[in-house]
Structure 1
Amino acid sequence: MTLTRRRFTTLAAAGIASGFAPLRASMAQTSLGVFTLTSLSDGALTLPLSMTLEHVPDDQRAAVTQHYGFGDTLTPPCNVTLLQTDTRNILFDVGAGPEFMSSAGFLLDALDAAGLGPDDITDVVFTHAHPDHIWGLVDDFDDLLFANASYMMGQAEWDYWTDPDTVNTIDAGRTTFAVGAARRLARIADQVTFFGDGAEILPGVAARATFGHTPGHMAFEVRQGSEAIMILGDCIGNHHLAFDHPDWRSGSDQDADQGVATRVALLDQLAHEQMQILGFHLPDTGIGRVEKAGSAYRFVQD
């Protein structure tokens, strides 16, 4: 077993069913044709409830808090996707690293539990450049952690976070996001490949523009024949308000109105097609499906 930066901490055991084979708590694995997808835990975030309730109508906040049993803070999990083919070990996002929150940044431990080290990763694909998705790009010495990997990011997302003016135009609460993203993306400027909506970035992996959470956020449809799974990133950011009230604006989205449009359209598609999903902040390992529930939706774990 490889010695990793942090001792592996196990979160609540995931309820894993269907075709998913339990590896250990907060990890699950499934096959999709010749592909293997593994949900790896990077830990969890610790967020103030006010962030979730920011755009909830004032007269409904108390009822919403009671209905979901919200406390003063929320601790959504961080689920990093590992896609393995016969020749590649592909990470979708790289977690928070050691500098963002003490409750997150455990990706190396999760990789170790899956029998891999950072040098085994062949490709890194980013959904977006928020801290919990990209700050794990470098180690404690600011060196690239995944030294043998190629890197891919949507062109619009890259352009936004590498624009020197972003730190001046982003809202004040996200200034450190802009500084941190620019510093880390500069480390891969000579190694990154860009893509747009609909591009097949790797065999069987297509990019899907899901803007709103960030200006260039991308989800990814992994398909083998008639079977597919959508790697969501943060375009559907939780299993409660995002499903029950997808038309409510979210405080976690940088463009809240565009986030609503993206979320409503995507939930409708996913419910209609019954495509599996893997959500970065959805419960336990983030794996499940979307079902229609009257005028709303619900997340059903697989």
Structure 2
Amino acid sequence: MTIQDTAPQPLAVPGPHGDVDLRLYRPAGAPEAAFVWVHGGGFAAGDLDMPESDAVARALAATGVLVVAVGYRLVGPDVRYPVPSDDVLAAWRWGLAHALEAGVAPDRVQLGGASAGGNLVAGAVLRLIAEGGLVPAAVVLAYPTLHVVPPAAAAAATAALEQLPEAERWPPADVEAMYRGFLDGDPAAAPGPAVPGTADLAGFPPAFVLTSEADGLRGSADEFAHRLAAQGTPVLSVCEPGTRHGHLNEPGPAFDASLRRIARWLRDAPDLAG
């Protein structure tokens, strides 16, 4: 897939905990859609230079999409939930306003994220619903983590996972430890938006749920997609064959295939939702 070689514009926009770092990727012509994109990294790692952020944004900008990549604060001694979520909300509000100023129709502005970024995106949407804010027209969730204890995946997914080294399988104990760091406490006491997989999903917008084939978190994404479909929310659920968790951080044929799927969703989601 074509990767835009134009340098993005670094920005800092105000948020409740100080400025939030963003990168703005403009398409060559008038934008056909806009997308606020949130990288992953287990809540405590990742940055705007990683392929999952930069290469994804460049690829989508080359298809005519205005992309805002979000550099939220990472979990550390002084950063816990809701700080990263607040940063994503601030970025979404800025990105939406900027997209509208650029002439993008409201139903062509979406929010998306990968892995832990998918959690932050789903949680931000739930907060917007509760607050009566402007909810994205649709969302993209790439191999997201949405449960403290990931639901069991289907047999085929489990078989694919068993081909990976143990350290790459995202065992449940590692997922729970990640959430304890994110929440700085007992996950059972966390507010719904911090663990979107167990929250009330009423009002959630149409969603594209993209999963990796061999991924210990795949059951979480599949269960979330199932819940959305069961309540009548338009949802497209696709597993990228031959991939492992984080495949958008590894440019190559599978990356290209997934980016074509995302670009198609950004173009067609308003019609699918209609």
Fold conserved (TM > 0.5)?
Answer: no
Q: Which one has more relative contact order, counting CA pairs under 8 Å at least 6 apart?
A: 2
The structure where helix makes up a greater share of residues is 2
The structure where strand makes up a greater share of residues is 1
Please report the TM-score for the alignment, with normalisation by the length of structure 1. Answer: 0.35
Please report the TM-score for the alignment, with normalisation by the length of structure 2. Answer: 0.37
- Greater C-alpha Rg: 1
